[in-house]
Amino acid sequence: MAATTKNPIIFYDLADANSKSWSFNPYKTRLSLNYKHLPYRVVYLSFPDIEPRLKELGMSPVSETFPRYTLPVIADPSADPEGKPTYVSDSFKIALYLDEKYPAPKYPAIFSPGTHGLQSLLMTEYFPTLISAIIPLCLPNLPGILDARSIEHIIRTRGPVAAFEPTSKEAKAEFVKKAQEKLDTLAQSLAHNDGSGPFVLGKQVSFIDFSIGGLLHFVQKSEPEDSTVFDELLNWSDGKWGIYWQGIQQIEKDSSEVTVHG
């Protein structure tokens, strides 16, 4: 049975202090669900609530080491009204599952035919280098967007986090420089698409774009009000990233999220 507005997919997302989206990994799944026009309802969890809730759902840990439970997770409703939903974790595995359970042409394909291996390679070999270049812009800002319980949980489970410490102007400028260099290099590679479209595969958006979009989302959501880094980022590479972000934002605006009133 396909998910419906009355019985939607449940999407477990990581909450900021205001129970809003901020983290780049769950954002990939949000975009995947929107792109396929699948009805979903969001359940926001703070860091200390992730493991207890996922254990309560009967999910197995994703790792034998900390963190043993991570987001995103989806719960896809069963065809049997009395049956248990199918739980899937990890944004890449979720996207694969959604394409298999809700296939094209009725539902747009996240992975175009013949690109699964390429996108897996990009996610395992290239995307971590992009994370390394972008994340230092965001981590010092996390204490300003997470609730006190989440910050306490992170420090208690991982020890003092040096990356949370305020950065000097010089250090921030160096982080910005490295991020810009990385995105400029990526933009140069995408220029070989000869203007066919803003995404990695040209006109066709794909999972790797949801991942890059997730990092841009993280920069935007973690940025203090007095910072202009995100606006500057959109103008990097001759405005390439502003155009790219517009494409990602259109997928978010065409949301298939089911809102619960009352």
State the Cα–Cα distance between residues 230 and 212, nearest whole angstrom: 14
Q: How many domains does the chain have?
A: 2
Could you tell me the two tokens for 134?
Answer: 């972008």
Is 49 inside any structural domain?
Answer: yes
Is 262 inside any structural domain?
Answer: no
CATH number at residue 77: 3.40.30.10
Question: β-strands 86-89, 73-76: how paired?
Answer: antiparallel
Query: pLDDT, tens digit, for every residue of 246-261?
Result: 999 999 999 999 987 6
Residues 160 and 233 in one domain: yes
Query: pLDDT, tens digit, for every residue of 194-212?
Result: 888 999 999 999 999 999 9
Q: Select from 72, 88, 110 the last residue of a domain.
A: 110
Could you tell me if 213 and 219 are in contact, meaning their C-beta atoms sit under 8 angstroms apart? no
- Over range 168-186, report the average pLDDT: 97
Residue 262 pLDDT grade (very low, low, confident, very high; cuts 50, 70, 90): low
> What predicted TM-score, i.e. pTM, was given to this entire model?
0.96
Provide the pLDDT for residue 199: 98
Residues 100 and 29 in one domain: yes
- Enclosing domain of residue 130: 116-251
Is 3 inside any structural domain?
Answer: no
pLDDT > 90: percent of the chain: 86
Query: pLDDT, tens digit, for every residue of 51-63?
Result: 999 999 999 888 8
CATH number at residue 222: 1.20.1050.10
Residues 185 and 74 in one domain: no
Residues 125 and 246 in one domain: yes
